[in-house]
Every structure is written in C-alpha cells, then in structure tokens.
Amino acid sequence: MIERLHKNTKIKIISLLSAIVLWMYVMAVVDPEDTKLYENIPITITNLNEIKDLGLVVDPDDNLVTSVYIKGKLSDLQKISANNIDVYGTVSNPIEGQNQLYLRASVNDKVTTEFKSDTIVINLEKSIEEEKNITVNITGVYKDNVDKVDLDKTKVVVSGPRSSVDSVKYVQATFDANKESVDTKSTELELKALDSEMNEVDHVTLEFNKVTAKVSYFQQKQVKINPIFSSNESNLVQDQDFTIIPSEINIKGKSDVINNIDSINTKIINVDELGTNNKIVDLDIPDGINADKDSVTIKLINKNKTKNSTFIYSGDDISLLNNEEDVSINDFEIPDDIIVKIQYDNNSDRISKNDLKLYLDLSEGIVSGTRYAITHNDINVKSITIEPSYITAK
C-alpha cells in the first residue's frame, strides 16, 4: 500500500503546483465577481433627534436589524465582515404609530449593496413621564424586627415609551434585614421599576436610581408574666401556690412603648377553674407590642392554700343517665343556679369545675312531680354539698 503511494510522485507534485498557479491566476488576473449575504446588521436611525424633539421614541420591541447583499470582486468581498457594514435608516415625517424606515448601506466604493427590502416598518411611541410612589420591600431573616424604613424621597419620575411606563405598577426599594440589630442606621437602597407581577420593567428610565433609607428596629426585652387572679384569690404566691410556664417571655416594640413595660399580665384567672392539671391562660398583650408567646400554662401546686371551692352550675351542666324515655333537662323544674360547695382535706387535691360532673339517674323512670336527687361522680375531697340537692319533674 505504501509503495503505491510513492509511485508517480513527480506527476502528483506537478499537479499540485499547477492547481496553485491556476488559483493565483484566477485571483490576480481574472478575480471573478460574487455576491454574499450578510445578516442581522444593526440599523442606525439618522434623524433620531428629530424623532425625540417630537416627543417620540422607537418601540423598544422593534428589532432594528436587516440583511444586506453585497456584490463585488471576490478579493474585495473577502476583506468585508459584518463589522465593516453600516446601515442607516431615515423616517420621513415621523408620527406616533407605524412609520416607514428607508434604508441605505455604506461599505466601500468597490462593491455594491442591495437589500431584501429597502424599507422596514417601525413603531414610534409617545415618550411620557409619570411620577410614581416609591414602596419599600423588607426581606431577610430579621425582617420582623424592622419597625419602619423612612426614605429621603418618596416619589420618582419614570420616563420612557408609553407602553413601558404604563406597565410600571411599583417603584420599589428593597431592604435586606440579614443581620440582627436594634440600632437605627442609614443606608442606600437601589430602586427598581416593577410590573403588576413584580417583574422588572425594561426600557424605562428613573429620575434617580437610589434613595437614602433610615432603618429603625423594634426594641426587644424579656419580661415576667404577671398572673391576674380574681380579687378574692390575690393572696396566692407564685412558685409556692402555683407555677407558670413560661414565667418570662420576649417582647418587642417601639422604644417609647417597650421602655414602660416590665411585665405582661394574664387575662383574669378564676382560681375555682384551676386544679393540679395544666390550664392554658391567654396573655393580655398591649397594643403595639409583639410577643413570642400569646398564652402560658398555669397550675396549682399548694393543696391546702384554699380549703374550699364554690362552683355554680346550670341545668345544661346536668347529664341524664339511664334516659330510656328520651326526656330532656327541660322536662324538669331547674333553678337558675345550682351551687356546689367543695371542702378539701389534707389528702385531697384541689379540683376545677370541669372535674366535677353532675347528673340525674332516671333508671326508675320519670314521673311528673317526682323529685330526683342531683348526684355527682366520685371525687377525692372531704365533702361536696349541692344546693338544691334535687329537682322535680314537670
């Protein structure tokens, strides 16, 4: 195979040299003409100042490029690139709306140019200015700690094509609260023109691109929980008679408000509703204050502090057992209040009203005028007195 390649070497060399000489002859002597297409050549509008003086701007969505055929000697075409081609356009008698842009190209004197079309249609829009309010968007991990952001300017003029300016619904300054702070500080915030879907709007100009912001933070402190009992139970002592979990909470607010607060009160607590079980109590948080908790858990721990409890029941609190005749509590003469008095001994835990259930046993049937004793579930206390102790069937 290799031996065959070495055969006729002189002939092959002569053929190659002949081809080179012929090509040089064609390029140097004959130099044939050719046509080449150049695409996406940008167009420069020559009377742009005239258009601006009329209060018009070119629609930013118009694609101001064209394609050019260039015809000339092959050697000249090889020297031309898209960067060497200048295309100019002129709008005669510009008006708002669609206009004809008349094209011409400039390359060099040795070639000729031709367009697929020597005119294109462009849209001219009215250039407008509109004043927009500046809004503030607070982001970041610590955004809830920011009280307010005051800007040195609250309005900005937006200019540009009518369609673009009309699409601007917000001019927004964003503050990123990425660091914890309690000190007031000043910073510069960049402005962005946004549409109704919070996307940035192109082809508009803002009167200024930045504003100075004064950022104020909420003050924070830890305060104790102050339980508020009904007046006759005010002698209860925390950690001796009851516990509160948590006993302190974190609050934040404006400095002039938070500096005057040393504790947060609970809603009024009726101790008769407390027992040794946990009870959730809402907090009475002042206006203008944020807290990390809105309720606490409280329970009694001193069994003997109060020897007695008094609960008031209504007819709706009484259950009907063995009610085979399917009567209702309304079939009985029910007093307005049923008073239940509890007496504790040293071995009994304090109970709440919810711990004590009242009921009527109707296993003997119901007869008009018959009195039925009000009974209760088993409770480990010294004594239970119910007044009245019975009710009468109608």
pLDDT at 184: 83
What are the residue boundaries of the structural domains of the chain, listed by start?
33-117, 127-217, 220-300, 308-393
The structure tokens listed for 236 are 């209860």
> What architecture is domain 33-117?
Beta Complex (2.170)
Report, at the CATH architecture level, how domain 308-393 is classified: Beta Complex (2.170)
Give the number of other Cβ atoms within 10 Å of residue 111's Cβ: 19
Query: What is the pLDDT, as a whole number, of residue 27?
Result: 56
Fold classification of 220-300 (topology level): RNA Polymerase Alpha Subunit; Chain A, domain 2 (2.170.120)
Which segments of the chain have a pLDDT < 50? Answer: 1, 5, 233
**Model confidence pLDDT, tens digit, residues 249-271:** 999 988 888 888 999 999 988 77
pTM (two decimals)? 0.55
pLDDT > 70: what percent of the chain? Answer: 88
Instruction: Determine the pLDDT at residue 122.
Output: 93
- pLDDT at residue 333, rounded to an integer: 92
* Residue 24, pLDDT score: 63
> Residue 362 CA to chain centroid, in angstroms?
60
Q: Is the peptide bond before 94 cis (omega within 30 degrees of 0)?
A: no
Domains 33-117 and 308-393 share a fold: yes
Name the one residue in this structure whose structure tokens are 């809004």: 135
Q: What distance in Å separates the CA atoms of residue 136 and residue 150, rounded to the nearest whole number?
A: 9
* pLDDT, tens digit (0-9, with 9 covering 90-100), for 144-155: 889 899 999 999
**Could you tell me if residue 160 is left (phi over 0), alpha (psi between -120 and 50 degrees) or otherwise beta?**
left
Per-residue pLDDT at 75: 85
Position 56 scores a pLDDT of 94
Give bridge partners of residue 106 from the DSSP assignment.
Answer: 86
DSSP one-letter string for 147-208: EEEEES--EEEEEEEHHHHHT--EEEEEEE--S---S-EEEEEEEEEE-TTSPBPPS-EES-
- Please give the Cα distance from 104 to 148 (Å, whole number): 58
Q: Which residues contact 144 (CB under 8 A, 6 or more apart)?
A: 290
- What CATH number is given for 127-217 in this structure? 2.170.120.40
Taking the CA atoms of the chain, what radius of gyration do you get in angstroms?
Answer: 46
User: Which candidate, 311, 303, 237, 308, places its Cα nearest to that of 273?
Assistant: 311
